[in-house]
């Protein structure tokens, strides 16, 4: 019986697979694949863990950013309120100061007016007294002098009453 090449290829194929099974190569390949799967699974689990930690850190950072933003907004709002209050206070102080200065100026003007009126009264009284003295000194007749004196005295009194009222 003659064996052709296909027979020998089949025999060598069976011997090859038999050797592989004898040397437990499929089990070693299986163990190697299982180990690689476990390593890949561990890496996936670790990356999932890192992703969760990163997500937590991101949420914490976002919360801190939100709180900082709200705090800065509160500070800005408070600063605006304080500045508005200060502007109002300064405006009120300015108006009060202006009112005080106005009142002082009016009081000063009133005092100056009163002083001027008093000076005018004093000058008119002096002029009246001088006129009376002159009339008395130039007048010769005693009866005429008495009548003139009484008349001038009465006019002076009337004038003083008008000035004082």
In a domain, 7, yes or no: no
In a domain, 105, yes or no: yes
Q: Please state, in angstroms and rounded to a whole number, the distance separating the CA atoms of residues 115 and 42.
A: 107
| Residue-wise pLDDT tens digits, 44-75 | 999 999 999 999 999 999 999 999 999 999 99
The count of C-alpha atoms lying within 13 angstroms of the C-alpha of 135, restricted to the half-sphere facing its C-beta, is: 17
pTM summary value:
0.41
| Residue-wise pLDDT tens digits, 5-40 | 888 888 898 998 888 788 788 888 889 999 999 999
CB 142 within 8 A of CB 129: no
| Residue-wise pLDDT tens digits, 76-130 | 999 999 999 999 999 999 999 999 999 999 999 999 998 888 888 888 888 888 7
User: Domains in the chain: how many in total?
Assistant: 1
User: Is the confidence at residue 134, as pLDDT, over 80?
Assistant: no
Percent of the chain with pLDDT over 70: 92
In a domain, 67, yes or no: yes
Q: What is the arithmetic mean of pLDDT over 116-145?
A: 76
In a domain, 147, yes or no: yes
In a domain, 129, yes or no: yes
Q: Check residue 139 and give its pLDDT.
A: 58
In a domain, 113, yes or no: yes
Domain that includes residue 62, residue range: 35-164
């Amino acid at each position: 019986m003659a064996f052709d090449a296909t027979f020998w290829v089949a025999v060598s194929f069976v011997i090859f697979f038999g050797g592989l099974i004898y040397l437990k190569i499929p089990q070693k390949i299986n163990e190697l694949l299982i180990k690689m799967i476990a390593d890949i699974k561990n890496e996936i689990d670790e990356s999932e863990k890192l992703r969760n930690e990163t997500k937590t850190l991101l949420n914490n950072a976002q919360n801190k950013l939100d709180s900082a933003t709200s705090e800065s907004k509160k500070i800005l709002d408070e600063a605006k309120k304080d500045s508005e209050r200060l502007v109002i206070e300064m405006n009120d102080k300015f108006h009060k100061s202006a009112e005080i200065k106005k009142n002082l100026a009016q009081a000063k003007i009133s005092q100056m007016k009163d002083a001027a009126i008093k000076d005018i009264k004093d000058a008119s009284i002096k002029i009246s007294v001088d006129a009376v003295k002159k009339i008395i000194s130039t007048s010769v007749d005693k009866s005429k002098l008495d009548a003139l004196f009484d008349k001038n005295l009465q006019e002076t009194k009337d004038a003083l009453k008008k000035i004082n009222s």
